[in-house]
Amino acid sequence: MSAPTAGIINVTGYVGVELARLLHQHPGVDLAWVTGRSAAGQKLGSIFPHLTGIDLTIQPEPGGADVVFSAMPHRESAAVIAPLLERGMRVVDASADFRLKDISEYERRYGVEHPASHLVSEAVYGLPELHRQELSSARLVANPGCYPTGAILALAPAVREGLIERDIVVDSKSGVSGAGRTPALNTHYSEANEDISAYALEGHRHLPEITQELDLLRPGQSVSVTFIPHLTPMTRGILSTCYACLAPSAEGMGREAFSQLYRHFYCEHPFVRVVESSPHTKHTWGSNMCLVYPTVAPDTGTLVVISAIDNLVKGAAGEAVQNMNLMLGLPETSGLEGLAVVP
């Protein structure tokens, strides 16, 4: 029996090129084609020399495949995906187009009318640690944003068990690759190097993803999240530090009790590891792992949970491949077993 085939729409962005790298080494899937209108007709390896071993020519339009990854920007992605679904293909969308179930919230945050609102209700939010069962039969998967992946995984166990109050602070620091491959002044080397800055203080687009998924964990007890992202002078990685006051039910719980709770919550999830000390982004570089460290601040009794991911792997392309594995009935870890690269 031949292996399932995959295709990538918009391979020329950081997420697309990372998808190509991961799918090329996947033991159970054949990468059949890649698209990129600005580079159509050129060999993939001529645009990205590190992918010279992939003998594919970039196409202007999608072909046929068992599963298609869309790495198009929001709004453009939904318009491309709808015809693929009509042709019977399964899709993992790396854009924001199908992540939010509240269409009005999507339109407010992204400033556009939703181009395929009729598909929103069937899209499965692609965080396997929370939606593994639904992913196995999904036709359309909305791959999570990078910031929400780290924040939700850091907070999910405590929220589900009702161990924290509703007010939560998420302080996240991301490498510049999270801004994409298109040149911009704020990610220019001379501007970003030796600097760190907060941004989107008026409200980041990823915030409603975080609240949507945390609210689903404990119906009837909605959370209130203050989310502040920062740009840091590194290429890859997101470090999220999450703070919340303990609920009365968690009185007396310390670091070890929370560590045990978190280990139990994630014991069947291969890409979340509860660690014994505060993780570094470098500990996840190039891997699909999310490292989580829960502790309790001794002076205030505040729960502090730190998570680290590679924003282009667990925060994007790796999670997309993990979702594909579940959709196709393949081992969840297939093609994603690589360890982090250090230094």
Residues carrying an active site annotation: 146
Note the residue count of the chain.
343
- Give the span between the Cα atoms of 284 and 45, in whole angstroms: 26
- Give the span between the Cα atoms of 10 and 94, in whole angstroms: 11
Output the CA torsion 335→339→340→342 (10° steps): -140
- Give the span between the Cα atoms of 205 and 21, in whole angstroms: 28
Q: What number of helices (H) and strands (E) belong to the chain? A: 10, 13
**Rg of the chain (C-alpha set):** 20
Please, what is the Cα angle at 228 between 226 and 234, to 5 degrees? 155
Question: What distance lies between CA 252 and its chain's CA centroid?
Answer: 34
φ/ψ of 228, rounded to 5, equals -125, 110
